[in-house]
């Protein structure tokens, strides 16, 4: 059985989901973006301590991702404005790529998946921006939800 789209009403008109009757609960979401840099660029930045003329790549990505996660409802039209309790980032530097994980948490009537996805995405874009002078072959490979808890249903990829 196909599930209805939550942001369309019975007349197929878009709108925010009404969360007025929902109970407040603890909610957490983890999203991941992967930035392929290539082994030469990763090695170069590891040797440089991830510092560039523009500043620290990973610190700047964290700040940009956090700012974006907090502004998700300004970017995605039907998202509820949420006050995040926490927005954290983890980076796993591999031989040729960086795995970015954004973890958002709050107590609310609605989930925080979009905030985690936006945070991870903007952190990836920031890494791209800070590294583009070295290579134009950088690829943001994927952004995906990897886990969510709280609310109606939990999810783990």
| The CATH number of the domain covering residues in 26-150 | 3.30.70.640
pLDDT at 111: 84
Question: Euclidean distance between the first and final Cα of the chain, in Å?
Answer: 22
pLDDT at 5: 59
Tell me, what's the pLDDT at 18?
A: 63
Tokens 């690829």 found at: 139
Domain boundary assignment for the chain: 26-150
Instruction: Give ∠ CA 99-101-106 in degrees, rounded to 5.
Output: 175
Secondary structure letter of residue 53 according to DSSP? T
What residues are labeled active site?
Answer: 129
Positions in the chain short of pLDDT 50: 1
The SS3 call for residue 6 is coil
User: Nearest to residue 36, comparing CAs of 131, 118, 115?
Assistant: 131
Q: What is residue 84's predicted lDDT score, i.e. its pLDDT?
A: 97
What pLDDT was estimated at residue 1? 47
pLDDT at residue 12, rounded to an integer: 63
């Amino acid at each position: 059985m196909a599930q209805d789209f939550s942001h369309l009403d019975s007349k197929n008109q878009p709108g925010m989901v009404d969360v007025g009757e929902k109970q407040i609960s603890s909610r957490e979401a983890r999203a991941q973006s992967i930035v392929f840099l290539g082994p030469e660029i990763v090695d170069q930045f590891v040797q440089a301590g991830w510092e560039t003329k523009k500043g620290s790549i990973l610190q700047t990505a964290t700040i940009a991702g956090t700012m974006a996660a907090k502004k998700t409802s300004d970017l995605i039209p039907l998202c509820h404005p949420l006050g995040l309790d926490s927005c954290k980032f983890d980076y796993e530097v591999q031989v040729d790529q960086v795995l970015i994980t954004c973890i958002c948490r709050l107590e609310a009537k609605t989930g925080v998946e979009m905030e985690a996805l936006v945070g991870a995405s903007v952190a990836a874009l920031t890494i791209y921006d800070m590294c583009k002078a070295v290579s134009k072959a950088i690829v943001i490979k994927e952004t995906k939800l990897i886990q969510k808890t709280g609310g109606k249903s939990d999810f783990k990829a």
